[in-house]
Amino acid sequence: QKEVEQNSGPLSVPEGAIASLNCTYSDRVSQSFFWYRQYSGKSPELIMSIYSNGDKEDGRFTAQLNKASQYVSLLIRDSQPSDSATYLCADQKGGAGSYQLTFGKGTKLSVIP
């Protein structure tokens, strides 16, 4: 069973701090990686995608990918209370024309004012 693993948390950080979320995946054929944010009762919302090794920055968010270590992370700088949510890591594999996502269970982040 190919899996995506995340620490379920909760992860608590003070407002203004850096939140660091981590994810590992087991399937070496995975090509694309995504971070989704999900507020309670709402849809998963895409916040970052990353396809190649290294860092990708978008505003306060930085995604990091290390394919050799099969490791993906998300850094949130200057954390705000509105960032409090569950963060889902997912990888994407292709095969026979299907590109399904495999999700981790999610990490619950709480930003304390």
Structure tokens, 39: 């507020």
| 65 interacts with other proteins by CB under 8 A | no
Q: How far apart are the first and last CA of the chain?
A: 40
Residues between 19 and 38 with contacts to other proteins, criterion CB under 8 A: 31-32, 34, 36
Candidates 83, 106, 107, 111: give the one binding other proteins (CB under 8 A). Answer: 106
What is the size of the binding site for other proteins (CB under 8 A)? 27
The minimum distance between CB 32 and other proteins, in angstroms, equals 4
Structure tokens, 90: 């997912």
Q: Where are the beta strands (DSSP E) in the chain?
A: 4-6, 11-14, 19-25, 32-38, 45-50, 54-58, 61-66, 71-76, 85-92, 101-103, 107-112
| 1 interacts with other proteins by CB under 8 A | no
- What are the residues binding other proteins (CB under 8 A)? 4, 31-32, 34, 36, 41-46, 49, 51, 88, 92, 94, 96-106
